Structures are given as structure tokens and as C-alpha cells.
Structure 1
Amino acid sequence: MTTVGFWIYLMSDCLIFAVLFATFGVLVHSTAGGPDGKGLFELPFVLGETMLLLVSSFTFGAGMLSAQAGRKKQLLAWLAVTFVLGLAFIAMELHEFSTLIHEGAGPSKSAFLSSFFTLVGTHGLHVTCGLAWLIVMAHQVVRFGLDGIALRRLACLSLFWHFLDLIWICVFTFVYLREFL
């Protein structure tokens, strides 16, 4: 039942992101005479962010294999690596946001930038929640071991983390990459 409920939650999150993508798609050219994405985005930097998140998906998957094999220490090590990669992603996103704001391209500059900050920031908020959830799960595994409850919760977190990677691939393609193609 927990897994079904979690899938329902993920589908509601899909709807949220669908609305944010649609809003961005409508407002992408509403720059109010200000800069557009091509003039603002640094594709190699964002590609670095993308690689961090994709690698974190692999490390989480390795952690789940360790969990299913009952290897608690390996699981905790993989969760720690996943956490560091996710934290580095968030740090890069915050750096990008602060650079854009410092350059005068904050969310109040245009509808395009408002929709950009909302879409990318919402994804960043989800990753931050995923990082908090990683800490909680690591604590639970240390304290209670790898029982059925922990495995089910880890499976839900795995769905969430991979969902975030999928959303980021869409963000990378639809927001950043399209500016340079």
C-alpha cells in the first residue's frame, strides 16, 4: 500500500512539474528586453551539474543493490556518496542563481527569468528534500538495521531520487540545451 501511495504522490509531482514546464514554455520569449537564456546560461557548468545528478542516480542504485543484499555498511557508504553528489549539485545551482542575480538577471527582471527561477528552484527544493530524506534513512538504517520497513522506505526514496533525475534531464534539455541548438 505504501508503494502505491508513493506512486500517486509522484504522479502529483509530475503534474506540478508539467505546469511549471508549460509556464516556462509560454514565457520563454518574454524577456521584457532583458537577457535571454543563450546570453545567460553557461552550458558546460550546467552539464557538470547534470553529470553530478546522473552519477548520483547510479550511486543510489548501487546502494539499493547493497540494501537488498543486506550489506548495511556498503549501503551507508553509497548513501553518503549520493548525498555528497546531491549536495554538490545544490551548491552549483545556488552558485548559478547568485551569479544571475548578481548580474541583474533575477526573477523580477522578466517573466522568462521568473519562470526559470521557479522551475529550476522547485527542482532544487525537491533535491534538498531528498538530501534530508537521505540523512533520515541513513539514521534509521544505523539505528534499526535493514528490516522490511527500512527497505520499503529506501525503495520509495529510490523512486523519488530517480524521478528527480528524470525531471532534471527534462530541465536540462528544455531549459538549457534548447538555447544552444
Structure 2
Amino acid sequence: MAHATAEHSHAHEAHESHESLKVLGFWIFIVTDILIFGTLFACYAVLHTHTNGGPGAKELFEMPGVIAETFILLTSSFTSGLAVLAMHKGKVKQLIAWLAVTAVLGAAFIGMELTEFVKLVEEGHKISSNAFLSAFYTLVGTHGLHVSIGLVWMIGLMIQLSRRGVTEVTTRKVTNLSLYWHFLDVIWIFVFTVVYLMGVM
């Protein structure tokens, strides 16, 4: 009996250390991401005036759309917070519902961003047109790619939650996903300020 208990506690400890390793891995991922975005912002800061005689930010950016994108993403950050609250109350259906709302808002954000890109490209402002546009598409596109990855992760998690409910593993995943989503929100506020607001001023 004592042997079984020792084995059980050993397995539990191993599981806990495995979980904390995953949490550490997640934070390392976030730190690397901060470095990537930091580099892209630095490149943009250097290159945003290099328009090669073409139109700059002031001529190209349409602020009403960008403000709507920002509002949508900020709202999705709020709904992802509500999902975490529902999880802590053990309300699986509410948790899945708030994640679904967050995913819809995230998809709307991506849709608007893609529409903006397509419109710019159709007007002849491609990534290869000049250094400013290269830096713009790379920075904003990298953020959009991260949001898309978050959406795939969110959909996978909703499926897992509907099958398994709130477990130690799904709790960690929801917490990490919510942190990741808030992180993307913070990055977007920098994008909005540095690229768009300062661009049109």
C-alpha cells in the first residue's frame, strides 16, 4: 500500500514538473516573440521614411478601418478574459462560448487586415514597392500571422474542452492562450501607435 502511495505521489510530482516545464516553455516562447517584434519595430522605425518617391503612411492608411480593427481586437481580449473567469467557476459551456466569441472577433480582425492588404496591393502598393512597404507588411503581417495561429489554437482547444471539460491540462492551455491573446493585444497597441497614428500625424 505504502509502495503504491509512493508511486502515485512520484507520478504526480513528475506530472507537475512536466506541466511547469510547459509553462516555462510558453514564457520562453513569449520572450522570443517580444525580441522578434522588437526587431521588426526597429526596422520599421528606420525604414518608414524610405518610400522611394512613392506615397507614405499619411497617404495610404485609412484610419476608420484601423480604429475598428483595434476596437475588435481589444474587445476580443476582454472576452478571452471572460473565458478564463468562466473556467475558474468550472462553467465549461460558458468558457467555450466566450472562446467562440473571441475566435469570431479574431477572425473579423484578420478579415479586415487582409482586406486592407488586398486593397493596397490592388492600388499597386506591394511589399516589393519600397523599403517602407516591406517593413509595414512584414511587421503588420507577422502580427496577423500570430493572431491566425491563436485562432487555430483556440478552435483546437474548444474541441478539447467539449470532450474533456476543465482539467489540469486544459486549464493550463486556456490560461496560456489568454496570456498569448493579451500579449498580441499589447503588440497591436504598439502597431496602432507607431505605424498608424504616428504615420498619419
TM bucket normalised to smaller: over 0.9
> Are the equivalent residues in 1 in contact too, given 2:107–2:151 (CA < 8 A)?
yes
Give the match for residue 148 of structure 2: 128
In structure 2, distance between residues paired with 1:137 and 1:12: 23
Give the match for residue 71 of structure 1: 91
SS in structure 1 of the partner of residue 158 of structure 2: helix
Give the match for residue 50 of structure 2: 30
The two structures have a TM-score, normalised by structure 1, of 0.99
1:158-177 aligned at under 5 Å gives the runs: 158-177=178-197
Give the match for residue 140 of structure 1: 160
RMSD, matched Cα: 0.6
Unaligned runs of 5+ residues in structure 1 are none
Counterpart pick for 2:33 among 13, 32, 39: 13
Q: Which amino acid aligns with 2:169?
A: I
In structure 2, distance between residues paired with 1:80 and 1:113: 34
> Are the equivalent residues in 1 in contact too, given 2:61–2:200 (CA < 8 A)?
no
Write the deviation string for residues 4-40 of structure 1: whole angstroms up to 9, x where unpaired. Answer: 2211110000000000000000000000001100000
Give the match for residue 106 of structure 2: 86
Give the match for residue 152 of structure 1: 172
In structure 2, distance between residues paired with 1:68 and 1:151: 8
Q: Which amino acid aligns with 2:46?
A: V
1:180 positional shift: 2.7
Write the deviation string for residues 154-177 of structure 1: whole angstroms up to 9, x where unpaired. Answer: 111111111000000000000000
Q: Which amino acid aligns with 2:101?
A: V
Deviating 4+ runs (over 2 angstroms): none
SS in structure 1 of the partner of residue 134 of structure 2: helix
Percent identity, please: 54
Unaligned runs of 5+ residues in structure 2 are 1-19
Give the match for residue 67 of structure 2: 47
Write the deviation string for residues 33-64 of structure 1: whole angstroms up to 9, x where unpaired. Answer: 01100000001110000000000000000000
Write the deviation string for residues 87-126 of structure 1: whole angstroms up to 9, x where unpaired. Answer: 0000000000000000111111100000000000000000
Matched, 1:61 2:81: yes
Larger radius of gyration: 2
In structure 2, distance between residues paired with 1:22 and 1:96: 23
In structure 2, distance between residues paired with 1:68 and 1:35: 50
Give the match for residue 14 of structure 2: none
Q: Which amino acid aligns with 2:153?
A: W
Q: Which amino acid aligns with 1:18?
A: G
In structure 1, distance between residues paired with 2:199 and 2:93: 43
